[in-house]
Chains A and B, each alone.
Chain A
Amino acid sequence: MPKVSVELLTMVGAVIILAFLGGLAFHYLAVIDTGAFFPNTHQKPIVIKVIAKQYVWEFIYPNGTVSYDKVVLKAGQPYIFNLTSADVIHAMYIVQLGYKLEAVPGYYYPLYIYVTKPGVYNIYCAEFCGPGHYTMIGEIVVVGGGSSS
């Protein structure tokens, strides 16, 4: 029986661990980027347009209602934030929910939002967008039931 060296075991072990972590990361990335984690129910995702501008987050609900720096969602309901920017590059960062996405002028990027626990979650701008960057703070209010707008 051939003798297996420690060096070979170390290399093979490292490759296996890295392949496992890389595979898992790519899988989760694909799931997050396509919204495949939405539950298989008959609930259609509600699309909310989000326009980032110096130094405010503008939310436009499907019925045309506009709100600034605050959006109210329903727990257990899937949403798609159609994210864009009106001026410079911003980034929507919702720390507690693990979301971060760039808002680029002229492009619309979908951010698939699904929150299971009611609460208030902070929104920060994670891309330096000007002298008032630090004031660009909003919040997502997730309620347990009732209307979302």
Chain B
Amino acid sequence: MSYKTLRPVDYILWFITILIMFFIFEAIGDFGNLPVSSASPVSLYEKQLFEYTYIAAGGVFAIFMGSLVFLAGKFRESQPSQVKKKTDYTAISLVLLIIAGGVLVYSAIPYFSPYLPLQLQFNMGILIAMAMLLLFGITLVMYKEYYKD
């Protein structure tokens, strides 16, 4: 087991990872900008409150997820490179599934609206069905990882 310590450059990378996570979170939620009408002072209050809460939640998410990603990468267990490993199908499948999940979320972004027209609701249904299939795929891969027989 190797004992690694954090160098000054690591702290900078840690901070950058947190910043990236923050901007990903904010971009997904359009920086807390609710797509609702501002036709009354009440809806304006709610929009403003949601925006502040969303930005604050983005900060919390960024600190935890950024630290998790950075520290997991930094302190991962390393193996000697000369040992020939068997092909790790679980790792390959998981990466593919995560990429598919990312594509799915990106495709679903236009549908994140409370006023979805009827003609787009079928597409939304298809996307939800694909998301369920994806969840099933991830569950199966994880199951096979622990119960190989």
Contacts and interface: CB of A to CB of B under 8 A. Distances in A.
B49 A98 contact: no
Q: For the side of the interface on B, what is the size category?
A: 10 to 19
A121 interface: yes
Interface stretch (A47-55, A64-72, A102-110, A112-120): A112-120
B27 interface: no
Contacts, number: 58
Q: Is the interface of B mostly helix, strand, loop or mixed?
A: helix
Given A25-B49, A28-B49, A37 B42 contact: yes
Given A32-B45, A95-B114, A98-B45, A21 B53 contact: yes
B56 A99 contact: no
A121 B39 contact: yes
Nearest to B59: A17
B36 interface: yes
A24 interface: yes
Q: Is the interface of A mostly helix, strand, loop or mixed?
A: helix
Q: For the side of the interface on A, what is the size category?
A: 20 to 34
Interface string B50-72: 00110010011001000000000
- In order of increasing CB-CB distance, the 7 nearest A-B pairs are A98-B43, A117-B39, A37-B41, A96-B37, A28-B45, A97-B40, A98-B46
